[in-house]
Structure 1
C-alpha cells in the first residue's frame, strides 16, 4: 500500500522540479551578482579610489535572497546539515518516529520564522522603509524571504507527514534517492 502523500503523480513531480529550478536560479543569480558587485567594488576601491556607491546595501539584500531562495530547495532535497549520531543506530519505526518528531519541530520552527518575517515585512511595507543610501524598498525583499520560509515550512510539513505515516503504518517508503527509510 502506498502512502497517501507520495509524489507519484507526474504533475506534482514537474511542479517540484520547476520550483526547484526557480529557487536554484534565484540563488545562483543573486550569488553571481554578489560576486560581481564585490569584485567591482573592491577593484574600484583599491585601483581607482572609487568604490561602487551603495554596494554594501545591495550585497546585504542579495545575501538575504541567496540564503532564503536556497532554503526551500535544500529542504525539498532533504540536504540540511544534521548531526547523525543516533540515526545510524535507529532503524524502522523508531527511526521514522524520530524523523517525524524532528520534521514536526522543523515545521513549527520554520512556520514561526515565516510568520515573524511576514509581520516584519508588513511593518516595513506600512512605513515604506528603504535602504539608507540608495533608497531601495526593503519590503519586497522581506516578502520574498517570507514566501521562501513559508515554502520551506510546507516542505518540512510534507516530510513530517510522510514520516508520521511510515511510523504509524509501519510502511517503508523510499526517500528522495530511492532508498527505503
Structure 2
C-alpha cells in the first residue's frame, strides 16, 4: 500500500512540475514572440489557466499528503508541551475537513459546468475541464492525506526520507522510516 501511496504522490509532484515548466516555457516564448516579432501564441492565457489548475491542485495533493505545508509556529511549542497528540490530530482533522469540503464543492462545480455544456471563450474547449481537473486532483489529494494519516498514525511528514528542521539548527535531524 505504501508503494501505491508513493507512486500517486510522485505522479502528483511530477504533473505539477511539468505543468509549471510548460507554463514557464510558454510564457517565455509568448513574450518573445509578442515583443520581438509582434506575434503572440493564440490562447496562451487560457492554456496557462489550465496549467495553473494542474500546478495548484496537483501541488496541494502531494504537499498535503506529505505534511509539507509552510507553517507558522507561534503557539505550537506551548500547545505541543501541554497536549501534543490532541493538537496534532486537531490540526490534521481540521485540514482534512477543509480539504474534503473544497473537494466536494469542486466536484459540484465540475458537474454543473459539465451539465451546462458551456465552452471556453478563446480555444472553445469544454468549460468543465478546469473544475473537473481540480476536483480529480483534490480527490486524489484527500485520499493520499487520509492514507498518510492512517499509515503513519498522524505523522505524515515522516513518510520516507525527510529533512526535518527545527528553529535551532543544533536540534535538526534527518528522519528515515
TM bucket normalised to smaller: 0.7 to 0.9
Instruction: Output the CA distance in 2 between the equivalents of 1:129 and 1:174.
Output: 41
* Residues 94 and 15 of structure 1, relative CA distance in 2, 3 Å threshold: same
CA contact (8 A) 1:100 1:161 kept: no
2:108 to 97, 119, 128: 119
CA contact (8 A) 1:128 1:137 kept: yes
2:76 is matched with 87
Aligned length: 163
* Residues 174 and 67 of structure 1, relative CA distance in 2, 3 Å threshold: closer
Shift of residue 23 of structure 1? 0.6
Structure 2 unaligned segments of length 5 or more: list them. 163-173
TM-score calculated relative to the size of structure 1? 0.78
Structure 1 unaligned segments of length 5 or more: list them. 1-11, 167-171
Higher relative contact order (CA 8 A, sep 6+): 1
TM-score calculated relative to the size of structure 2? 0.80
Q: How does 1:1-181 map to 2 (within 5 A)?
A: 12-91=1-80, 94-158=83-147, 175-176=158-159, 177=162
Instruction: Output the CA distance in 1 between the equivalents of 2:156 and 2:7.
Output: 23
Q: Which moved more, 1:92-101 or 1:57-66?
A: 92-101
- Give the aligned CA root-mean-square deviation in angstroms: 2.7
Instruction: Output the CA distance in 1 between the equivalents of 2:147 and 2:32.
Output: 46
Choose between structure 1 and 2: higher strand proportion.
Answer: 2
Instruction: Output the CA distance in 2 between the equivalents of 1:161 and 1:101.
Output: 15
* Residues 159 and 95 of structure 1, relative CA distance in 2, 3 Å threshold: farther
Shift of residue 88 of structure 1? 2.5
CA contact (8 A) 1:103 1:157 kept: no
Q: Secondary structure at the match of 2:12?
A: helix
* Residues 24 and 161 of structure 1, relative CA distance in 2, 3 Å threshold: closer
Instruction: Output the CA distance in 2 between the equivalents of 1:104 and 1:94.
Output: 16
